[in-house]
Amino acid sequence: MTRIGFNVDFSFHGTTRLLGIVPVLLGFVPLINSFFKFKNDGDRSPHPFNEAPKLVVTGFYSYVRNPMYVGVLLIILGLLIIFLNYLILIYGFILWAFVNTFIIKYEEPKLTETFGEEYKEYCKNVHRWIPRVKPWKK
């Protein structure tokens, strides 16, 4: 991907490609916010192997269960629009498949074990990948 270059023209198609900046910037919002939510509300870093003292369900977590991963995927979508390179699409799909498998096989069972019914209720109300229109409140 390093051979893609940064030669974005400003013709009609070039301007359209520049619209990819929007999902890139939008992707950083839940990513950065979630880091702070974990530190402030969860009393820990967002590293998935840390033991969580409490379940974080505020901020972007009240819309979607995995806002950091959604943010990263938005950034990849923006890069795909900007560079129009199929390798970015393949990379995004492989990353999503890996992360989704990790979430299903490790993260969710661990969170269910740690938080029990509280996490099960959260999962019933907040989707793994598709954000809610209105925030969920427990």
**Model confidence over 44-62: pLDDT tens digits?**
666 666 666 788 898 999 9
- Specify whether the CB–CB gap between 65 and 127 falls below 8 A: yes
Question: What are the domain boundaries of the chain?
Answer: 12-47+55-125
Whole-number percent of the chain with pLDDT over 90: 62
| In the chain, % of residues over pLDDT 70 | 81
10 or 32, which is more confident? 32
CB 115 within 8 A of CB 53: no
What predicted TM-score, i.e. pTM, was given to this entire model?
Answer: 0.83
pLDDT at residue number 36: 84
pLDDT confidence bin for 35, thresholds 50/70/90? confident
CA distance 22 to 81: 10
Rounded CA-CA distance 134/114 in Å is 26
CB burial of 100-122 (b: ≥16 within 10 Å; e: otherwise) equals: eeebeeebbeebeeebeeebeeb
Compute, in degrees rounded to 10, the torsion defined by CA atoms 85, 128, 63, 75.
-20
C-beta separation of 138 from 57 below 8 A: yes
